[in-house]
Amino acid sequence: MVKKILAKSYIYLILLLMYLPILVLIAFSFSIRTSIGDGFEFGTDLWANLFTPGEKIAVEIWTALGNTLIVAIVSAIVATILGTLGAIGAFYSGKKAQKAIEVSTQIPVSNPEIVMALSLVVMFVFIGIRFNFWTLLLGHVILGLPFVYLSVRPKLIQMDPNLYEAALDLGCSPRQALGKVVVPQILPGVVSGFLLSVTLSLDDFIVTAFTRGPGLLSGSKTIETLSTLIQAKLKKGAIPPEMRPLTLIIFLVVLGVAIFLAVRKNNEANKVKERKGRINA
């Protein structure tokens, strides 16, 4: 009994330490105080500033958010396609090729991000490519690609290897067998890889800072994402307090997506149980 109480208390303590900073930030998004150290005073001025058209800080924040989302979604789509195809190709390759690919995908994951960023800069300068949206996109694709591969690979291993051959024997072309048999089997891994790639891109600063240039919503100016905008503001002083309500919005969106995926997975598991029950009956 005492062990259970201590175990639950430990878990709740860890959860409190994890989420307490977020809860404090959420609470102070409804404070009119520009500094958290000045205490709490309820007000919605920060929300009004964030959604006021023409407000300088609002324009900067929404531009940075737009750039961040565009880069994250586009790079995640490209990384998911390349990572999935790479995982499928490696799975159906020889053992030597599989080992070589496994090692090559492990290196970017364990390698410090600063090494990747510096190597990209050296490569772009050597080739003579100007830094712009495409260099930034390439950097984010390289950042997320190995994680997509590592998310898809276990699903391929769990899949029955005879399904693809059976589809070919039943008259499917290799492309049809891939789309109708293999892809549905590995779809959870593909989705996980996509979401992980999006998260890595949204959270990235080092690769973005080294590979960005003019373009996107920033026009002729250097592309600003949320991470680079916060870093630039910290150089001049404090983080804009209008970032607090934006953080709450992002947190609620992520929470909604997590709940949706959990409910969907639970419903699918219940459907599988029902089908097994009908078959056994």
pLDDT band at 163 (very low <50, low <70, confident <90, very high): confident
Lowest mean pLDDT among 65-69, 202-206, 275-279: 275-279
- Beta-carbon contacts of residue 165 (< 8 Å; ≥ 6 apart): none
CA 276, distance to chain mean position in Å, is: 35
- Residue with the larger pLDDT of the pair 13 and 105: 13
Task: Say how far apart CA 56 and CA 29 lie, in whole Å.
Answer: 19
CB atoms closer than 10 angstroms to residue 26: 16
Average pLDDT, the chain: 87
- Residue with the larger pLDDT of the pair 276 and 84: 84
pLDDT band at 22 (very low <50, low <70, confident <90, very high): confident
- Structural domain boundaries of the chain? 57-242
Phi-psi region of 145 (alpha: psi -120 to 50; beta: other; left: phi over 0): alpha
pLDDT per residue over 91-109, tens digit each?
888 788 888 888 888 878 8
Top-ranked range on mean pLDDT: pick from 69-83, 147-161, 219-233? 69-83
pLDDT band at 281 (very low <50, low <70, confident <90, very high): low
pTM above threshold 0.75: yes
- Beta-carbon contacts of residue 118 (< 8 Å; ≥ 6 apart): 210
Q: Is the pLDDT of residue 55 over 90?
A: no
Residue found by looking up tokens 């772009």 in the block: 124
**CATH fold for the domain made of 57-242:** MetI-like fold (1.10.3720)
